[in-house]
């Protein structure tokens, strides 16, 4: 890729010797790859996990090596960068152009199958033995399935459940992917298992909250991907004490390797994922000034009960924020819109759209000191000390 990749600010949390949460890293994610997917596309590694539950302490796992599909008992979190296709682009001179071909396993990469069709501004049609949470951060991406094509914009989320798919990026884009190891019970076909009906409810959202678009894809028959659902996230919890707060749950995995299924939102709604699992959600935080001074023990307890995780609250009148919480999870957090502060026991970190936090089981809260809503996407994984 010509020129440097857009730097990704990455904040990593940890604990001091007294067990108090703090920042252990704050700066540009160092593991960048300028042209890892061709001359028009590169990526930035943010975290690699080789096991589940994920370790909540230790080294910077954004520097570990991995293969594209990731380890079968883990996965990886990264941002893919694609530059805009120039007006004078000539396919005849594209060194990355590969014609479409019959499906074959990609050499040197576990659990990846390829049908070609790639160029400097398009991925191949491919399939990985993973469940992916894909979130557009900037620009546009065109998602091509065997039965339809969709345009994704900032804030849109796709849950790729082991499906064949292709990406086109004519306008340039940045997109985050949490790729979780999965299990195809029928070999390379990787077909949908079970008959769980997709949830398609359209919740009533608080004023000022935008719906989160959730796309789910899967393979219903060999060699053919299909769209399962495309619409607003159907499972949303609110907080009466904080008008304008909304927590939209998008997907849950309840094992690693993950299962290839049509829907998972029938699983219990909790902040913590199931054992060896994950949960993906998008949270809208209203300005603190809209509720400050009106929230106490009862309101906070009611909120965490509504989210299915009453024990997550670490509320104290002396705490730096009423909604302080701690879960035994490793969370990948992406600020999608607005400005927000990450409140820890010993310090605060001001964040803006595009910043990413790796939250390693630490006590924290999110505080919006601005006058506009802030939106944060969170992929939480079961953790171990």
Lowest-pLDDT choice from 36-45, 151-160, 181-190, 312-321: 36-45
Q: Which two tokens stand for residue 157?
A: 């989320």
Lowest-pLDDT choice from 64-68, 179-183, 261-265, 345-349: 64-68
CA–CA distance from 385 to each of 88, 270, 362, 367 (Å)? 53, 20, 11, 26
Q: Mean of the pLDDT values across residues 156-162?
A: 98
Assign 2 a pLDDT band (cuts: 50, 70, 90). very low
Report the distance separating Cα 208 and Cα 162, nearest Å: 34
**What digits encode the pLDDT tens for the residues 222-231?**
999 999 999 9
**What digits encode the pLDDT tens for the residues 88-143?**
999 999 999 999 999 999 987 789 999 999 999 999 999 999 999 999 999 999 99
Whether the model clears a pTM of 0.85, i.e. scores above it, the answer is yes
Report the distance separating Cα 168 and Cα 124, nearest Å: 9
**How many C-beta atoms surround the C-beta of residue 31 within 10 A?**
18
- Has residue 35 got a pLDDT over 80? no
Q: Mean of the pLDDT values across residues 229-247?
A: 98
- For the purposes of burial, counting CB atoms within 10 Å of the CB of 104, is it exposed (0-12), middle (13-18) or buried (19 or more)? exposed
- Has residue 41 got a pLDDT over 70? yes
Under 8 Å CB-to-CB from 18, ≥6 apart: which residues? none
- Has residue 67 got a pLDDT over 80? no
Q: Mean of the pLDDT values across residues 235-246?
A: 98
**What digits encode the pLDDT tens for the residues 302-342?**
999 999 999 999 999 999 999 999 999 999 999 999 999 99
* DSSP H or E stretch at residue 253: strand 246-253
Torsional class of 265: left (φ above 0), alpha (ψ -120 to 50), beta (otherwise): alpha
- Has residue 360 got a pLDDT over 80? yes
The predicted structure's pLDDT at residue 107? 86
Report the distance separating Cα 317 and Cα 44, nearest Å: 40
Answer yes or no: are the C-beta atoms of 280 and 251 closer than 8 Å.
yes
Share the mean pLDDT of the chain.
95
Assign 70 a pLDDT band (cuts: 50, 70, 90). confident
Report the distance separating Cα 270 and Cα 283, nearest Å: 14
């Amino acid at each position: 890729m010509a020129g440097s990749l857009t730097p990704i600010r990455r904040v990593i949390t940890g604990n001091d010797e007294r067990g108090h949460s703090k920042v252990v890293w704050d700066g540009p994610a160092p593991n960048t790859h300028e042209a890892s997917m061709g001359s028009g596309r590169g990526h930035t590694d943010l975290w690699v996990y080789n096991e589940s539950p994920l370790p909540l302490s230790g080294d910077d796992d954004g520097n570990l090596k991995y293969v594209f599909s990731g380890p079968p008992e883990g996965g990886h979190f990264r941002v893919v960068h694609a530059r805009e296709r120039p007006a004078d682009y000539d396919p005849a001179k594209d060194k990355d152009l590969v014609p479409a071909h019959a499906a074959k396993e990609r050499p040197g990469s576990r659990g990846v199958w390829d049908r070609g069709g790639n160029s400097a501004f398009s991925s191949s049609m491919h399939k990985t033995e993973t469940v992916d949470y894909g979130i557009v951060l900037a620009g546009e991406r065109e998602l091509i399935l065997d039965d339809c094509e969709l345009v994704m914009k900032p804030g849109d989320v796709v849950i790729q459940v082991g499906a064949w798919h292709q990406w086109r990026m004519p306008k340039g884009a940045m997109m985050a992917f949490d790729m979780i190891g999965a299990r195809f019970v029928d070999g390379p076909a990787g077909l949908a298992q079970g008959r769980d009906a997709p949830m398609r409810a359209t919740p009533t959202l608080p004023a000022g909250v935008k719906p989160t678009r959730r796309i789910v894809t899967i393979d219903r028959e060999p060699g053919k991907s299909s769209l399962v659902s495309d619409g607003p996230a159907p499972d949303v919890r609110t907080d009466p004490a904080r008008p304008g707060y909304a927590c939209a749950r998008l997907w849950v995995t309840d094992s690693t390797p993950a299962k290839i299924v049509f829907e998972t939102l029938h699983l219990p709604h909790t902040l913590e994922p199931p054992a060896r699992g994950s949960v993906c959600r998008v949270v809208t935080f209203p300005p603190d000034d809209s509720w400050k001074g009106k929230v106490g023990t009862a309101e906070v307890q009611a909120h965490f009960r509504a989210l299915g995780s009453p024990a997550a609250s670490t509320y104290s009148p002396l705490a730096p924020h009423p909604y302080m919480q701690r879960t035994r999870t490793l969370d990948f957090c992406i600020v999608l819109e607005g400005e927000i502060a990450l409140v820890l026991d010993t310090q605060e970190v001001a964040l803006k759209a595009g910043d990413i936090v790796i939250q390693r089981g630490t006590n924290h809260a999110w505080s919006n000191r601005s006058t506009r809503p802030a939106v944060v996407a969170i992929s939480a994984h079961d953790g171990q000390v």
